[in-house]
Amino acid sequence: MCELLGMECNVPTDIVFSFSGLALRGGAKGPHADGWGLALYDGNAVRSFLEPFAAAKSPLASYVRANPIKTLLAIAHVRKKTRGEVSLANTHPFTRELWGRNWTFAHNGTVKKLDRLALGRFQPIGNTDSEYAFCALLAALQKKFSSYPKSTRALWQAVADISTKIGSKGTFNFLLGDGTHLYARCATKLAYVIRKAPFCQATLADDDVCVNFAEVTTPNDRVAVVATVPLTRDEQWTIGIPGQLWVFRGGALRATL
């Protein structure tokens, strides 16, 4: 299985600390050595870094950690393949355009019987069930709404309903970004923490690297971090319940569906 990492903030923030923890699980402290990816939003557009190699041994992943890029929304993934060969085309996160914005998706698990789902204009490039499920999700959203909905709650509910349908055929843990929200669905494993004032020190679960967030933030900052398994050992993470979909915006949990 793979591991997921998402970050959503109210002020531009770099993901270096959390991504460093995830990268260790990509071939050093974990078996997820079949590829890694990181998507960083800039408005409705996405800057992506993808490699079909182990993140723990990747010069590109090291470069990303050494050259922080601040963002309001980020999605990362380290892969342990279950379906589809190790290749760039099968490396998460996947990105597609819908309603004039990039949507980004990363998945953990296996989804079955996807050939029953319509894809509309969205077609997979690789051969993973993950990318197929992403295309089906976007096709269902496009069928339901002609443009980005004015009612965000209607959009949130649609994502929840569609993902429940897709997830009924397998294991569907995922992170989904639309440039405004971070959606996080728990099928088996998922957790989140919201970092806000008063900030404290956090230490990676898989290394002795620590950060005192009080020294690098302001009292108004708020950052939501989502991971398959908690990345730090000294923060209070909320553990997801199977079937839940979380929606984050502005570094805060806006809905649990």
For 29, which DSSP code?
A: S
What one-letter code names the amino acid at 233?
R
CATH of the domain at 57: 3.60.20.10
Q: Which among 119, 113, 117 has a CA at the least distance from the CA of 83?
A: 113
pLDDT at res. 215: 86
pLDDT at res. 28: 77
pLDDT at res. 240: 97
Does 135 participate in catalysis according to the annotation? no
Integer Cα distance of 96 and 11 in angstroms: 25
Integer Cα distance of 98 and 73 in angstroms: 17
pLDDT digits (tens, 9 = 90+) for 66-95: 999 999 999 999 998 877 789 999 999 999
Strands 71-78 and 94-98: what pairing?
unpaired
How many domains does the chain fold into?
1
pLDDT at res. 212: 87
Integer Cα distance of 134 and 123 in angstroms: 10
Integer Cα distance of 138 and 103 in angstroms: 9
Catalytic-role residue among 2, 9, 135, 186: 2
Q: What is the DSSP string of 225-245?
A: EEESS-SBSSS-PEEPPTT-E
Show the low-confidence residues of the chain (pLDDT under 70).
none
pLDDT at res. 30: 79
Peptide linkage before 12 cis (omega within 30 of 0): no
Domain hosting 143: range is: 3-256
CA-derived radius of gyration, the chain: 17
Integer Cα distance of 110 and 18 in angstroms: 25
pLDDT digits (tens, 9 = 90+) for 37-63: 999 999 999 999 999 999 989 999 999
The answer for residues whose C-beta is within 8 angstroms of residue 239's C-beta and 6 or more apart is 190, 191
Integer Cα distance of 87 and 34 in angstroms: 8
Integer Cα distance of 136 and 125 in angstroms: 13
